[in-house]
């Protein structure tokens, strides 16, 4: 009879050790593969340390550019606010300047009115007291609306002729245009006859290239006496009167206003 103990095989089983050995083998395989990869890059001329330094420098450069971008955005916002403040200030200054010009024009009209009240008897007994320049929709067309008044105490009607001329520039040259040159009126003067006042409304058309600066006025009565005035060309409000010169030429920016009798 055979001995049953001779067929018994004793085998040891250690699952933890087997798992450790398997993990170590995998790690060694991964390390070996990475080592082979790095060896291949090194043989190709790739430097890991230099690449790391370059990436770090690029990261610092990006952060510096982001800070500079934020700074420039803040400066741009401040500049935009300052520009809006400047525009508002300029608009306010223009508004104040327009108001001051209107006040000056009204004061000049008052001055001209009272100066006309004390006008000597030896000159013409009429004077332009108001001059308004009204732009029309058509290009370079304007209406000259003015009022002729008798100065002093009107005792009788006055009559005569009033000649208008436009003083300005064509380019760098001074120029003077008569009423006949800028309107449909065939003559350079208009007839007036009134006791207290008389209104006039004349439409003019400026030729191309002509920049008006003043309106020259020459009043002649029946005795041949003259009185001359000049008004600044202003299309906003009333035109202010320049210094008049009875019995003499009006120098409007170097131009001698002369009006021949019709």
E-state strands within the chain: 126-135, 141-150, 158-170, 173-178, 189-194, 197-205, 210-221, 226-232
Cα distances (angstroms) measured from residue 245 to each of 9, 94, 188, 262: 145, 33, 20, 21
* Confidence at 163, pLDDT banded by 50, 70, 90: very high
| Average pLDDT taken over every residue of the chain | 79
Cα distances (angstroms) measured from residue 209 to each of 175, 206, 260: 11, 8, 25
Q: What local confidence, expressed as pLDDT, does residue 140 receive?
A: 92
Cα distances (angstroms) measured from residue 15 to each of 12, 19, 21, 22, 29: 10, 6, 10, 10, 21
pLDDT at 71 over 80: yes
3-state SS record for 14-68: CHHHHHHHHHHHHHHHHHHHHHHHHHHHHHCCCCHHHHHHHHHHHHHHHHHHHHH
Q: Of 30-34, 130-134, 197-201, 206-210, give the lowest mean pLDDT range.
A: 30-34
Q: What local confidence, expressed as pLDDT, does residue 195 receive?
A: 87
Q: What local confidence, expressed as pLDDT, does residue 175 receive?
A: 92
Q: What local confidence, expressed as pLDDT, does residue 209 receive?
A: 92
**Tokens coding 93:** 């200054």
Q: What local confidence, expressed as pLDDT, does residue 143 receive?
A: 92
User: pLDDT by residue (tens digit) across 10-56?
Assistant: 565 567 777 787 888 888 888 777 777 766 766 776 666 777 788 88
Q: Which residues pair with 69 in a beta bridge?
A: none
Whether residue 231 contacts residue 131, with contact meaning beta carbons closer than 8 Å, is answered with yes
Q: What local confidence, expressed as pLDDT, does residue 27 receive?
A: 84
* 3-class DSSP state of 189: strand
Task: Taking residues 193-220, report their average pLDDT.
Answer: 92
Domains in the chain, start-ordered, CATH in brackets? Answer: 122-232 (2.60.40.150)
User: pLDDT by residue (tens digit) across 235-250?
Assistant: 877 777 775 443 333 3
| Helix, strand counts (H, E) of the chain | 3, 8
**Would you say how long the chain is, in residues?**
262
pLDDT at 194 over 70: yes
* Better-scored residue on pLDDT, 210 or 55: 210
Q: What local confidence, expressed as pLDDT, does residue 54 receive?
A: 82
* 3-class DSSP state of 216: strand
Q: What local confidence, expressed as pLDDT, does residue 121 receive?
A: 46
Q: What local confidence, expressed as pLDDT, does residue 207 receive?
A: 92
Q: What local confidence, expressed as pLDDT, does residue 141 receive?
A: 93
Instruction: Name the phi and psi angles at 92, rounded to 5.
Output: -65, -40
Q: What local confidence, expressed as pLDDT, does residue 112 receive?
A: 65
Look up tokens 């400047």; give the residue. 86
**Rg of the Cα atoms in the chain:** 49
Whether residue 200 contacts residue 219, with contact meaning beta carbons closer than 8 Å, is answered with no
């Amino acid at each position: 009879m055979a001995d049953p103990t001779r067929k018994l095989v004793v085998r040891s089983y250690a699952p933890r050790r087997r798992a450790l050995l398997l993990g170590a083998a995998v790690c060694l395989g991964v390390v070996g593969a990475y080592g082979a990869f790095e060896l291949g890059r090194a043989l190709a001329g790739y430097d890991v340390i230099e690449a790391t330094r370059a990436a770090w420098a690029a990261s610092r450069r990006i952060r510096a550019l982001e800070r500079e971008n934020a700074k420039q955005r803040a400066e741009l916002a401040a500049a935009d606010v300052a520009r809006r403040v400047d525009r508002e200030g300029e608009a306010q200054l223009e508004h104040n300047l327009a108001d001051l010009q209107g006040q000056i024009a009204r004061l000049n009209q008052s001055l001209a009115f009272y100066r006309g009240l004390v006008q000597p008897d030896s000159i013409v007994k009429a004077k332009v007291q108001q001059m308004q320049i009204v732009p029309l929709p058509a290009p370079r067309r304007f209406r000259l609306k003015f009022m002729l008044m008798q100065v002093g105490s009107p005792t009788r009607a006055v009559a005569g002729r009033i000649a208008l001329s436009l003083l300005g520039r064509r380019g760098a040259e001074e120029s003077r245009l008569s009423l006949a040159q800028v309107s449909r009126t065939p003559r350079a003067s208009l007839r007036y006859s009134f006791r207290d006042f008389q209104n006039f409304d004349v439409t003019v058309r400026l030729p191309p290239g002509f920049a008006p600066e003043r309106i020259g006025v020459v009043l002649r009565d029946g005795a041949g006496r003259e009185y001359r005035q000049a008004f600044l060309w202003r299309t906003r409000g009333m035109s202010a009167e320049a210094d008049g010169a009875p019995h003499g030429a009006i120098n409007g920016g170097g131009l001698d206003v002369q009006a021949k009798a019709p």
